[in-house]
Structure 1
């Protein structure tokens, strides 16, 4: 991309474009936008270095976050896209790139905090990548990590449950360990974690169905339907109702009654 074009782009606008592409699960677009963000911040960084080498004041570019953040975010999003497309080796390489961002010059205290945050994300995402790839030998280590970092607990449990469904792992013991931390009845919901809770509930419903506990599966899918409505995500809602309909014959009359009331309330 030509420098004249890059200079007209704003990193924060590209971040918003990336968030939108992620929301629509358009991973090719995520990859494209991540590359655009990287080239944009690289152009800003090179221009700053050029001016500094000449002893001139650097031109002001308004950005909402430290420049190092955009480097890290571009690699993070590229890694996510590779992971979602099943490109494990490329995802590992992207994680390595945002694991260590301290190569930038003149990092102040705020910059170093950003570097540490991305280092932590890399540590978490290495576990996530390997668990999703079926590395069951890392499961206990990941569970212990999550118990030490409870702020990662819900997102981590979502990953474990999805991997259990995909690879046919029995994880009842893991779910029991977390039952006091992650409330299955959804009373801990808030706007910051609704999406994670939705995905956990949906994957937990699939797990309970596989384990031969259809009524437990229905309970989790009812929670997922409620969250899909709260999030305003039609594709989540359609996915949930399809799963519930497949379980209808094994659901209790009371559960089907709640389902009907829920649907009436959403009209």
Structure 2
């Protein structure tokens, strides 16, 4: 009970130093004098609640949470965690980022594992309040201490940790997926849908195509089952409540065909990818779409049209290039980017002349090469920076084939610059391509190249594992 006494001694000292009498402080804080006296002088009869602690703190003009390090014992006055003090204290600590106090309370609570449901309850309230990072220590506590592996709270905690961990670091994302994967079928069905969708996205960004196809099939089966169940419930139950998911159910079904199609495209299996498009090109048959669902269906229809153009072009059907160009011209620049990559890639594969196309999109290409634009809000994402680097690399290959060596080398250097920004392994292919054509580089281009090469070396030296950056090793 040392801190239980200390916090009261500290508060009384602060009240005196501020020049208050007990009566004066009662009036200033709005706490009854008798209540204040009992709280400060007889804690066994009247424990100090969070509401009064914060009011005392505010009246004294102290920084928020300044007494919190002394309040931990207050949660365990009877020797066990007291819900009425633990929960509001933990909620405030999460709000203020008081990690030390959170860890102290959670550590002591785990002397009694029957308190894990309370920890989960607090985590869910923090998460629902819009502070997912603040909930992480509580979900971690459940994940580390729950002994029943099929407990739903454990599965949901793993799901929340998975979703919170996802970010721009592909390696960290993969670790998060591997950790969550065994729990994906143990969470409620709405979380299963969202979990599978996020897993597929991670595997897609890592180019792990077998995993994309495997989990896409799982998503397809689940979304189709839930769709049929939803229709049945609508017909049979007057008190029907739809499944609460982040996205409309049609999104999960559509993605379950879109993602393996794009996966096959990335593996060069263009005809197989083309065959899958019909499965998501027209999803208007989905019942109960509503306004949101109809908008999602329209997106899939647009993606199907774009992907058909892409695949026909990659198969060498150059005659569709004019109509594909017209299709892209009306799109937002973020949608033009993958289209341009496809066009240049197909040109390189099938020796198609695309000079007219590159001229038509010259303004867009110039904008995509602008470093400041690439660092703007949208293009800060690793995936899009990677695609911009890929476009420049494909342009370099095209211009080398066309014997426009100066333009080609400028594109190699631009691709390398972008790859360095995001520490992407593809920087190695830029180095290889430049060295292969170094003889054509001007002195200015060689100086720029050597400067970037030095930056690559420094990044490799400063990296925990330089093999990750250079794309070699395990």
- In the superposition, the TM-score normalised over structure 2's length comes to 0.52
1:249 alignment counterpart: 439
Query: How far is the alpha carbon of 1:217 from its aligned partner?
Result: 1.3
Greater Cα offset, 8-17 or 109-118: 8-17
- In the superposition, the TM-score normalised over structure 1's length comes to 0.90
In the alignment, structure 1 residue 199 sits paired with structure 2 residue 390: yes
In the alignment, structure 1 residue 265 sits paired with structure 2 residue 455: yes
Query: How far is the alpha carbon of 1:191 from its aligned partner?
Result: 2.1
Q: Which structure has more RCO (C-alpha within 8 Å, separation ≥ 6)?
A: 1
Which has more radius of gyration?
Answer: 2
Match for 1:87 among 263, 269, 272? 269
1:176 alignment counterpart: 359
2:403 alignment counterpart: 212
Structure 2: which 5+ runs fail to align? 1-183, 459-474
CA contact (8 A) 1:143 1:174 kept: yes
Q: Equivalences for 1:20-99 in 2 at 5 Å?
A: 20-55=202-237, 57-58=239-240, 61-99=243-281
Query: How far is the alpha carbon of 1:165 from its aligned partner?
Result: 0.6
Query: How far is the alpha carbon of 1:213 from its aligned partner?
Result: 2.0
CA contact (8 A) 1:48 1:59 kept: no
Change (3 A) 1:185 1:46: closer
What secondary structure is seen at the aligned counterpart in 1 of 2:245? coil
What secondary structure is seen at the aligned counterpart in 2 of 1:65? coil
1:158 alignment counterpart: 341
What secondary structure is seen at the aligned counterpart in 1 of 2:285? coil
Greater Cα offset, 255-264 or 185-194: 185-194
**Total equivalences in the alignment:** 263
Query: How far is the alpha carbon of 1:184 from its aligned partner?
Result: 6.5
Query: How far is the alpha carbon of 1:136 from its aligned partner?
Result: 0.6
Query: How far is the alpha carbon of 1:63 from its aligned partner?
Result: 2.0
In the alignment, structure 1 residue 118 sits paired with structure 2 residue 300: yes
1:115-166 Cα shifts (integer Å, max 9, x gaps): 1111111111110110111001111111122223243322211111111111
Greater Cα offset, 18-27 or 80-89: 80-89
